[in-house]
Amino acid sequence: MTILVCSACGTSFDDGEHLKTCRICADERQYVPASGQAWTTPEKLALAHRNTWLQLEPGLMAIQTVPAFAINQRALLLRTPAGNVLWDCIALLDEATKAIIDALGGLSAIAISHPHYYTTMQDWAAAFDAPIYLHAADKEWVCRPSDYIRFWEEDALVLSSAVTLVHGGGHFAGGTVLHWTGEDGQGVLLAGDIVQVTPGADHVSFMWSYPNMLPLSAEEVMDVAERLAPWPFERIYGAFSHQNVRQAGQDIVARSARRYIDRIKSLSR
Ligand SMILES: [Zn+2]
Ligand SMILES: [Zn+2]
């Protein structure tokens, strides 16, 4: 069966023949480009793009497609004694990426923050025979079925002694962040878009739609902050390159939530 990939968001679909609209782009949180819906295939994508690698800190590497494709997020490869975890996903899985990950020991799990980064997760899972952990609250947004998908419903899901998925909500009902102890034990948050690192890397923000600039309510942001509060971390790595908070991450999230809530409340007075 032909796999089609949405050029605007990177989501993959099975049935190419009758596909007109990408459900992820048609959602109020994304957008269909003014030039209209366009599609590519994994093969075409690999002809004009490649993946680059960057070590963010010991045990953590970023994988990013160049030139930029679709939303242009990065995937993160977390290396732990219990196996490698792919955090978030990108559409391009080329032969070089497969060979590099195989050489690093393959994948023991894939975990994704929210539907904008589901992309071609089904193909990554099949290539590395690895389960995909998705929060059940976002089940409706899976656009291609896969036997590798495992839905979870708890507030947190322990993947290993060092890695836990935490349900944050906010941007999506099932919005998930990954908490890792880090090799130094100081704690690391892999944030996706659930906690969005700001350009100064000294704050984060929280939105329902980033491209369409639609906010979350004060209550929703308070809820995300409360869900993350029990987890200690120094560093935060967001979905995009340069979204790297190097210290005081937990304090930054708490302060940023208070700043956001104060701002929203001052507007509604
Ligand atoms: Zn799309
Ligand atoms: Zn998003």
* Sign of CA pseudo-dihedral 235, 133, 151, 38: positive
Rounded-to-integer distance, Cα 95 and Cα 100, Å: 9
Distance CA 155, CA 148 (A): 21
SS3 216: coil
Specify whether the CB–CB gap between 25 and 155 falls below 8 A: no
Which pTM value belongs to this model? 0.97
114 C-alpha vs ligand 2 centroid, how far in Å?
7
Distance 74 CA to ligand 2 centre (A): 12
With tokens 């242009």, the residue in question is 72
Q: What are the tens digits of pLDDT across the range 105-145?
A: 999 999 999 999 999 999 999 999 999 999 999 999 999 99
Strand partners, 114: none
**pLDDT single digits (tens) 19-61:** 788 999 999 999 999 999 999 999 999 999 999 999 999 999 9
CATH number of the domain bearing residue 238: 3.60.15.10
CA of 151 to the centre of ligand 1 (A): 22
Which ligand ends up closest to the CA of 38?
A: 1
Number of domains the chain is built from: 1
User: What ligand has the least distance to the C-alpha of 175?
Assistant: 2
**Contacts of residue 95, Cβ cutoff 8 Å, sequence gap at least 6:** 46
Domain enclosing residue 141, as ranges? 3-267
Question: How far is 69 from 91, CA to CA, in rounded Å?
Answer: 8
